[in-house]
Amino acid sequence: DDIIRLNVASVGVSVFVGTEYEHQTLMALAQLINECEPYGIPVMAVTAVGKELETKKEARYLTLACRICAEYGARVVKTYYCDDFEKIVYGCPVPVVIAGGPKTDSVLEVLQFVYDGIQKGAAGVNLGRNIWQNECPEGVARALQAVIHGNAKPNEANDMFLAMKNQKA
């Protein structure tokens, strides 16, 4: 009811495949999909990796987690960028977007993994702290836009970011 009342465009839910919460979170995904589908509200499944599964940020595990979420009915899946990311994208029947993961040391690092992920088939990104925790979030957003939609290389986009950051200073 709240989803409809708020007129949301889509919703997301975390799914913890491979943890003690796997069953509980998969059932929550299924219930949310069943509630949203009749209204045409897409559900994004977030393949969450807790601290106990830090070593699971690898393509083999994430491919399985994304595939399970898609087969449950998620319209899009959010997951971590990793080596062999293309295996995740090509093994998943719905669009895959890249999660931001932990705060990075530099904007260039973010731009590089986003560029690589897009080159390997990601439909887009769903980033948070690597944008809003930056001293120039607008610059990061513009640089990401240049990489995702403008075919800019990471170094070019980073130069754009630095120019905006220096302009604001």
120 is catalytic: no
Residue type, 28: A
* Residue 70 neighbours by CB under 8 Å, 6+ apart: 45, 77, 92, 93, 94
* Number of other CB atoms surrounding residue 128 within 10 Å: 11
Tell me how far apart the alpha carbons of residues 125 and 49 are, in angstroms, rounded to a whole number: 17
Among residues 51, 56, 57, 78, the one annotated as catalytic is 78
Instruction: Provide the angle, in degrees to the nearest 10, between the axes of the packed helices 107-119 and 154-168.
Output: 150
Residue numbers annotated as active site: 78
